[in-house]
Structure 1
Amino acid sequence: MTEQVITIENRGAVEVVSLNRPDRLNAMNEPLIRALLDYFTGLNERHDVRVVVLRAEGRAFCAGLDLTGWQRDGDSGPVHQGWRTQRMIAAVMQAMRKCPQPIIACAQGPACGGGFSLLLASDVRYAAPDIRMNAAYIKIGLGGCDMGASYFLPRLVGSSVASEYLLTGKFMTADKALACGLVSEVLPHEDLLGKALSLADEMLLTSPMGLRLTKDALNLNIDAASMEHAFGLEDRQQILLSQTADSVEARNAFLEKRAPVWGNR
């Protein structure tokens, strides 16, 4: 029987994507990575989905790489095999940042290596008290910077905290993650999904294009070359959005004291 490595639950404009290898602590095998890559890449053309919630079944979010779960090509050497695996996993994190939908992650238990990077590549993170996150690579003789950790983590928590964890591979706890702003809130495991869906509902109150372009501006301006570049992008987006039918609808709804009805136009 083929393993259903992820499940996707559609809740209208919100989709809940669950890692579904709980017996393997949701470790990354090739079918799981292919499924995530296909899903997040496909979101670029799916304007019916406005928000994604990423979560995991079982007691762990993702324990990292499943070393036994990757297809071997007998004609390829170890460098080529490793490069194929490396690039496929990295492409998932890149697809998460490039898709226009905000990604709300809910995590519990171990989130190690690539699992840590799945959280870092998300837009909002909620955590259970038992979460334990680390960039484990340096503990197995590799460099501590992998799967986007050296890009994401300093931008999220600053260079000092990022260096502390990337140079040691030690675990970050829920309390530390909350204190440094890596997660928005720590709450019981059973409450994570409800919290994420509540936030998603708040996001759905915004205009569809406004929500997409806000994620776009956040992505671009975190690397803006200057303050002027950041302001320039914001100015262009605001003028563009002000000319949409949804902007007119928002103004009318405000004056009429009612909720706007978005047409994504």
Structure 2
Amino acid sequence: MSSDTIPRVDPALVAGNQRPLAGYEARHFQWSVKEGVATIVLNRPERKNPLTFDSYAELRDLFHQLKWADDVKAVVLTGSGGNFCSGGDVHEIIGPLVRLKAPELLMFTRMTGELVKTMRACPQPIVAAIDGVCAGAGAILAMASDLRLGTARSKTAFLFNRVGLAGCDMGACAMLPRIVGQGRASELLYTGRALGGEEGERWGFFNRLCAPEEVLAEAQKLAAQLTEGPSFANGITKTMLHQEWAMTIEQAIEAEAQAQALCMLTQDFTRAYEAFVAKQKPVFQGD
């Protein structure tokens, strides 16, 4: 049966599981969607784009909503004014935290952790465009992204140790070693020192470096390339990359067998075969 004759999804099911986000009006950062690529810009350049209680919560909720977005295939995350993100705002977050008691502090740390969870759980690949300062929670946002483009002048620092806190913040002790290795992650988390752009590329933290004036455009170009691929299958890849951290090799192979069989049922798989036979480039539609 040709993919053109396959019945479409029941509208009632679509209504409950798909919703557009292009028209979303962000309150605490900039948000735009163009041809399937959403761009989030942390936009407080006067303080190097720090996070606040409000921006943490809005980012958490927005990444959660991306599970159902039918008009967003990839996400670009960046900062304005030549910096990525300086972490939690000293005056609006750090100051209030020192006056809170344990239940409220746990409420805060769970909220920040939920942001990482929703970034990892949304099916869209996240490309971080990182220039200048990328510190504290900003370094965590970069770490939680799927791909990272940096610049030679970028400085990534997991600063928690320098403010009297443990490096085990927002999943850093679990995720960072998987990106740069246990020894290198230990160094960054114990010392809080800055990882320069060229060193970050050598360590594998950055996929590649770009000129500062080009890093956002390159990230958007990469994201656009991802939107041309099979978005359903890309979402499965992201899910498996995340879930297989906690699996044995045997469990991972079985889980991938099931996931790949599911992808073979998609129309994109059929389109790829038909395009190959016709010596054409497949046009994927994400179903």
- Percent identical pairs in the alignment equals 31
CA distance in 2, matches of 1:48, 1:5: 22
Equivalent pairs counted in the alignment come to 260
The reply on whether 1:68 has 2:97 as its aligned counterpart is: no
What pairs with 1:47-126 in structure 2 (closer than 5 Å)?
47-70=70-93, 77-126=100-149
The 8 Å contact of residues 88 and 94 in structure 2, kept in 1 or not, is answered as: no
Alignment of 1:143-158 (within 5 A): 143-158=166-181
**1:9 and 1:16 in contact (8 A); partners too:** yes
Q: Is the 8 A contact 1:4 1:20 kept in 2?
A: no
Matching residue of 2:67: 44
Mark the CA change 1:106 to 1:77 in structure 2 (over 3 Å): closer, same or farther. closer
Query: In the alignment, is the contact (CA less than 8 A) between 2:36 and 2:224 conserved in 1?
Result: no
Corresponding residue SS for 1:162:
helix
Q: Which position in structure 1 is the counterpart of 2:253? A: 231
Query: Match for residue 222 of structure 1?
Result: 245
- Matching residue within 247, 252, 258 for 2:274: 252
Contact 1:30–1:71 (8 Å) recurs in 2: no
**Residues 132 and 171 in structure 1, CA contact (< 8 A), matched pair in contact too:** yes
State the 1:72 CA deviation: 9.9
User: 1:239 is matched by which residue type in structure 2?
Assistant: A
Cα offset for 1:157? 0.8
For residues 92-137 of structure 1, what are the alpha-carbon distances to aligned partners after superposition, in whole Å with 9 as ceiling and x for unaligned?
A: 1111001110000001111111110000000000011111111111
Which residue type is aligned with residue 114 of structure 2? A
CA RMSD across the alignment: 1.9
Q: Distance in 2 between matches of 1:119 and 1:152?
A: 11
1:190–1:4 distance in 2 versus 1, CA, 3 Å: farther
The 3-state SS of whatever aligns with 1:68 is helix
Instruction: Confirm whether residue 209 of structure 1 aligns to residue 232 of structure 2.
Output: yes
Other-structure match for 2:21: none
Q: What's the TM-score, normalizing by structure 2?
A: 0.85
Higher alpha-carbon deviation: 240-249 or 175-184: 240-249
Measure, in 2, the Cα distance between the counterparts of 1:242 and 1:140. Answer: 50
Q: Is the 8 A contact 1:6 1:32 kept in 2?
A: yes
Deviation of 1:60 after TM superposition, in Å, equals: 1.8
| Aligned counterparts of 1:113 and 1:107: Cα–Cα separation in 2 | 14
User: Secondary structure of 1:167's match?
Assistant: helix
Aligned residue type for 1:20? N
**5+ residue gaps, structure 1:** none
Q: Where does structure 2 lack aligned partners over 5 or more consecutive residues?
A: 1-25
Which residue of 135, 160, 184 corresponds with 1:161?
A: 184
Shift of 1:22: 1.0
Change (3 A) 1:228 1:32: same
